[in-house]
Structure 1
Amino acid sequence: MASLRQIAKKAGVSPTTVSRVLNDAKYADQVSEACRKRVQEIAKEAGYQSSYHRRAIQKSVAETIALVLPFGQHKPDETNPDSLLEPVFHGLIAGIESAMHGSGYALSLVGPGRTKRAEELGIAGLQSKRYDALILPTLTNLYQDVTTQIRQTIDHAQNNARIVQIDYHNTAQSNHPSIYFDEAQACHMVLEHLHEQGHRNVLMLNRSHTSNRDHYYQEAGKTLGMTVQTQTVKIDSQTKSSLAGHTDTTEAAENSMLVRLATGPHDYTAVIGYNDSMAMGIIRALHRAGKRIPEDVCVVGWDNTLAPFASPALTSIDSQFVEMGRQAGKLAIELASADEAKLAAIQKTRIVLKPELFCRESTGTAANL
């Protein structure tokens, strides 16, 4: 196998440049694309492997667990939406890292690529199995934006990789160990809290006509004798995960709520946001319309990420993102280190996380309609 110096000599560049291209992704972008391709082609012909992958092959493990993030659609020379700004990933990453601390495994984030090249590198990493286990969150509609190629790669990996699945729904039919959040119980918990305050008619601002959460709210409403209206907020798919992602969601919810306030009907005493970002928009719209919170209208959020910083402080469901990540990290480590005899038992693991409702200043006794 060729050395860095031999590849550098053949490519007509310095060994440092070759190392940056082949071993150090942090500085790879400092090398021109033409030079990168030339070095990579020469290295491939020479059968070169980085020192990291040589160690991994010798030990038969990669010492890496990957968290797959959704890849946004992109146009040439444009940056992709950055899904790391979604609150779900803040908590997941914190939880996974806490579980992996001291384990000897490293966490690798696969996607979302900020350039086409980064996306290609992420796909290549999945295909070459540079990880010992994969954590695959399917919590949100974000995966609707996954490119065809990465979706095919993930689907293929599900047939043969050690995968931990995270979802809002019971994944009992999954072939992989899974953690899911009891969304149905969370919806019942929200309505039960409002019911105790005298609310009987509520409005929910949703972000999808096909949301399971809408179904859960409707079922909980029937049980409690409450009417739950749904209003869909349209959010531009190209901007919902952008740097201003929270702002886009908040503004979309604010505009949707302002239309409802202007045109009616006004047959509700509480409004529920799909997430805290939407709830912030609802609060802004109510303030602009001269409505008092909670005296005139109560507001409830979801995720408990922005809730403490709202004005008034927002009642919100905690989606347990950090605990999801912690449990996923523990399962991924077990999968990565398990022999075939233990693997089957681990793959049957199903962990259900229970919701918690944080009651704050945005909810109170229902106003008279």
Structure 2
Amino acid sequence: MSRFWSPLVHTLTPYVAGEQPALPDLTKLNTNENPYGPSPRALAAITAETTETLRLYPDPTAHRLREAIAKSHGLDANHIFAGNGSDEVLAHVFQALLKHGKPLLFPDVTYSFFPTYCRLYAIDFRAVPLDDTMAVRISDYRQPCGAIILPNPNAPTGTALPLTEIEALLIDHPDQVVVIDEAYVDFGAESAIPLVAHYPNLLVTQTFSKSRGLAGLRVGFAVGQPPLIEALQRVKDSFNSYPLDRLAIAGAVAAWEDRAWFEDKRDRIVATRERLSAALRALQFEVLPSAANFLFARHATLAGAQVAAELRSRAILVRHFPKPRIHDYLRISIGTDEECEKLLSGLADVIASLKK
């Protein structure tokens, strides 16, 4: 606390990022990073960009990247907004599109940055409870609101809605913006991007941090009809005209165009996820169905905080959220097969020691 703080700072409860410790021999399964790293083509493009041109500002519109993304979806570049990670993109979305006279709706168990943004930007919101299976129920969103934002797949649960339900939500709310945050969509869900041409109230956000293995580069984007994209650009240019540097633009374009690398690593992660899910069930875990690169699971008899602490003492990190409804769940990122075997071995040891 300081007498120099503005009144707003006193009211904030900041987002808590996943732990990034420097522990020896660490098995790190807590922040949903891609275990296989970025495309070699992306690394080569980043290296090639490290020339004297770094003295020049980057393209403030990131046109090459926007054009590459748009082309793959049969759209024009004016349907794409690019930013410094999907968190920055979402921050602009909250400012530009989600503050209205009625409350913003999102799930009660979801990406914990959503209420943080609402407090930062003084946006009234209402958290809509997940159903008893920890899934989003679209019928619960048939209520007056200013806008809606849903992750699909949801985080941290990993559950996903079919595209038909997303479209039903858009039809139910023709006068409200509906934002679908697709950070994990590549691992098993249906993208809503094909609906963008038909629904002027739809905005879809995605990231290069997960399926493209570029969490350290910070690149995200949004897809929507031009009036929504213009709103984001107006906010961006009132905040930071150059959110993506030259290295980020070059690396992201190369990663996006390396479809073979993307598909191979995605398929490996999905296969490992299914094997890990079955193995966790054999250890008496309840595992929610996941369309993401993580699993959300709780043990039949052991407290989540205790299991997470015991794993950490064995240099194995998973994510625990000490929050209502989910305090006994662990969010487990999908690592390599070797990392997941270390996790399973560690869990077997933890379970045996805690049951003594």
TM-score (norm 2): 0.32
The structure whose RCO (Cα within 8 Å, separation 6+) is larger is 2
The structure with the largest helix share of the pair is: 1
Greater CA radius of gyration, 1 or 2? Answer: 1
